Amino acid sequence: MAKLILLVFNLILSSAFSRVLSGAGLSLFSYSFITVIVTNLISSYVSSFPILGVAFNFLSLSGVVEGVNIVLSALITRATIKSLSLRLGKS
């Protein structure tokens, strides 16, 4: 009986651990991807509108850009994990 409990416990842990690692990898990838996009957008806006450069520099120094990147990558990760957990079949 103890071996059966250990087997079930190991299966649950391995599944949870693999989901945590896949979520962490996905969020790291999406964070780096969003950081590149946001940085390019800011640099294009600053070159087009020089007056906005001061405002974007202030937002960058205050950490708003990093906060937006973290929130967007978390949303992308959650949506991806949710979509991967969907299964096709009869309801």
Each residue's pLDDT, cut to its tens digit, for the chain (91 residues) gives 777 776 666 666 566 666 666 667 777 777 888 888 888 888 888 888 888 788 888 888 888 888 888 888 888 878 877 776 665 555 5
pLDDT at 25 (0 to 100): 72
Q: Is the pTM of this model over 0.75?
A: no
Domain ranges for the chain: 20-77
Radius of gyration of the chain (CA): 21
**How distant is the alpha carbon of residue 43 from its chain centre?**
23
3-class secondary structure per residue, 10-76: HHHHHHHHHHHHHHHHHHHHHHHHHHHHHHHHHHHHHHHCCCHHHHHHHHHHHCHHHHHHHHHHHHH
Other Cβ atoms closer than 10 A to 35: 17
